[in-house]
Amino acid sequence: MPGSLAITANQTSFLQGNSLDFNRLMGVGEEQYCRYVWSHRIAKDKQPWRAIGQRQSGKATARLSDFYLEASIGRYCSMDCYMSPNEFFDWRNVKQLAALHANWLEIDVTNAPGSTKKRTLSIEEQNTVVDEVFEQLASAGVPQPTSYVLSGSGGIHVYWIYDATSALKSKVSAWRDIASKLVKSLKGGNLWHVDVGASKDPARVLRMPGTIHGTTRRTVETFIGGKKYTFESLANALNVKVESQLKVVKPVKELGIAKPTETKETKERNKPRVNNGKHTIGQWWAKTYFNVLKHINQNKVKEGQRDSTAFILFVALRHMQDVDQALERIKDINRRLIGLDEDTLLSYLKTARNTLYKFSKFRLAEYLTRQLGMDTSYLYENDKVKLTIEQIKEAQRDAALKTANNKANSTLNRILNAVKELTTAGSDCTQAAVAAICGRSERTVRRYWSEVIDNKVIRSCSIYSPQ
């Protein structure tokens, strides 16, 4: 029986809302980064994708009202408009996820037996689908959805919306586990089935309430009646564990081992030399702090880099000072050099005030290079070369070959598992759907597609070729 929330799905508590109500729940217009909108009705000589909000790269974004006007047929606008529920740093792909806002189930209309023509349901049939979906959700003990959307052709999008949460790797993994639990709660019906690929793709775009379905000319409607969750409360309700991203691990004390008695001579011999020629953690972070400070004094902090700059400076200060001193120092630096308003700054530093983050040299160098565009050569100034160039190259080749083989085997297994899941659910097994479920790009899936087709265990007529 899922989690700690007693309220399960119940359709009777929902009332029809409007697009503004839905957008308010989803935080549309309040993006820290960007969402993507799309419509195939935009003129062919123009890009059908638009980013709204602000992109980390600083590239241009669009206004939602302008997007609606461009998505038009003759004098009709807002036609066939889609939007990503979740946010991205810059581009619409899973690796660029910045914030999670919701989980969802996409309910698709099942074509008539023997027909390939896209089916449209009547209003009465659509209501039957809604009733069946909520009955199955309630039977499975799934918590009450926040909202559901009628797509305009008979399909339904059921949403569990929560306060925006950072799309850390551990949370994206938990998002997929939540999606799997939701998908498994529905068995489908004569008129409908769950689109597994769409329901398990955190980078998906879905029809926007208040817009027009281009084929049926029905308005996409939203109904609201459930609570707005936190990510953790929804995960807990579905018995999904959310792993902490970073932990400060305390050393385990050795018990029951008596220390040998030290003489004056052994004490002197064992007396630690100052750093043994190496840096301490405090010195390492102090070096990072002063190099970042030098970088932002010489290079104006770009708008998309402000949060990353404030975060890493505060982490460095936390390794050098107590939290209150570090907070006062970063506030001063922010006023002079970064330019965030204080409430925004404090929200970015919320977790870092309670957690002492640790970075390996490699991860720190990667962070500073990617997020701040910094030269990180200072991190390697004292590194000693222990191997010849030929030895290093040979070791790199061996390691790369081993890593590539392991990765290839792991990737193929993930793709095969995704194909099995889609074929078992009776969903169309396209490369895009497989990529969405297994967390790999369509290009990667395409590379392995011949091996998928040749796999005897999962060979199925529902596996579609790239064409």
Separation between Cα atoms, residue 242 and residue 262, nearest integer Å: 48
DSSP letter assigned to residue 32: S
Provide the greatest CA pair distance for the chain.
94
DSSP letter assigned to residue 48: S
Separation between Cα atoms, residue 192 and residue 109, nearest integer Å: 5
Neighbours of 40 (CB within 10 A): 12
In the prediction, which pLDDT does 274 show? Answer: 47
Walk me through the domains of the chain, giving residue ranges and CATH numbers.
11-237 (3.90.920), 279-380 (no CATH), 389-454 (no CATH)
Separation between Cα atoms, residue 177 and residue 198, nearest integer Å: 14
CA distances from 39 to 44, 77, 258, 395 (A): 11, 11, 72, 50
CA distances from 431 to 192, 424, 445 (A): 22, 16, 6
* CB within 8 Å of 45: residues ≥ 6 apart: none
128-130-135 Cα angle (round to 5): 95
DSSP letter assigned to residue 18: -
In the prediction, which pLDDT does 4 show? Answer: 42
Strand-pair category, 82-83 with 49-53 = unpaired
DSSP track, 273-338: PSGGGS--HHHHHHHHHHHHHHHHHHSPPPGGGHHHHHHHHHHHHHTTS-HHHHHHHHHHHIIIII
Separation between Cα atoms, residue 54 and residue 148, nearest integer Å: 27
Nearest to 77 by CA among 48, 41, 43: 41
Neighbours of 323 (CB within 10 A): 15
377 touches 383 (CB < 8 A):
no
Nearest to 311 by CA among 362, 360, 364, 361: 364
Predicted TM-score (pTM) of this structure: 0.60
CA distances from 99 to 55, 138, 197, 229, 263 (A): 13, 29, 20, 15, 59
In the prediction, which pLDDT does 128 show? Answer: 96
In the prediction, which pLDDT does 386 show? Answer: 61
User: How would you write the pLDDT of the chain (467 residues) with one tens digit per residue?
Assistant: 444 444 666 777 899 999 999 999 999 999 999 999 999 999 888 889 999 999 999 999 999 999 999 999 888 889 999 999 999 999 999 999 999 999 999 999 998 887 778 889 999 999 999 999 999 999 999 999 999 999 999 999 999 999 999 999 999 999 999 999 999 999 999 999 999 999 999 999 999 999 999 999 999 999 999 999 999 999 999 999 998 755 555 555 544 444 555 555 555 555 554 444 455 677 778 888 999 989 999 888 887 888 889 999 999 998 888 888 899 999 999 999 998 888 888 988 988 888 888 888 888 888 888 888 888 888 877 655 566 777 777 888 888 888 877 776 788 888 888 888 777 776 778 888 888 787 778 888 888 888 887 775 565 544 544 43
In the prediction, which pLDDT does 407 show? Answer: 73
DSSP track, 343-356: HHHHHHTHHHHH--
Length of the chain: 467
DSSP letter assigned to residue 382: T
Burial of 455 (0-12, 13-18, 19+ CB in 10 A): middle
DSSP letter assigned to residue 4: S
